[in-house]
Amino acid sequence: MAREERKTQIQVAATKYFEGLAKKDFDLIPYEEGVVLQAPLAPGGVHNPMRGKEALRTQWWAPLPGILGRVRILDIYYNDELTAVMAEAEVEVTDPPTMLRVADRFTVNDAGKIVAQINYFDPRDVTNPGWQKKSG
């Protein structure tokens, strides 16, 4: 596959992920069956990855459609080998109301499926609303 084709392929995987969030449709996300997810708000957190598409669907995804609002991709970055893509985005959470600024990294296989995902963001606005205003 030509370099530009591959770049497009991995970009599509990342944009489909955020489209799935925006449309509240898990099936739009091109996850490979054995996908591995590390995320601050996933069961187990970043240090205990979730494994498998069905585990993501039933454990991580289940509450998301009820609390997601607007989603907007800000920029996309690629690694030199074109095996991974990172998308910077804003993801609105409606309960508690907040706008998360995220940088999600996706490792994408030759078939264009996401095989690994790491979500980078500060979860405190969700886990501890108003934390910035609290005095020590």
DSSP 88-134: EEEEEEETTEEEEEEEEEEEE-TTS-EEEEEEE--THHHHSTTTTT-
In a domain, 26, yes or no: yes
pLDDT of amino acid 127 = 81
pLDDT of residue 19: 98
pLDDT above 90 for 126:
no
Phi, psi torsion values for 50, nearest 5 degrees: -85, 145
Per the domain annotation, does 65 fall within a domain?
A: yes
For residue 10, is pLDDT > 90? yes
Domain assignment present for 75: yes
Is residue 132 situated within a structural domain? no
On the question of pLDDT at 131 being above 80, the answer is: no
**Cα–Cα dist 27/25, whole Å:** 5
Question: pTM for this structure?
Answer: 0.93
Q: Give residue 128's pLDDT band: very low, low, confident or very high (50, 70, 90).
A: confident
Measured in degrees and rounded to the nearest 5, phi and psi for residue 89 equal -150, 165
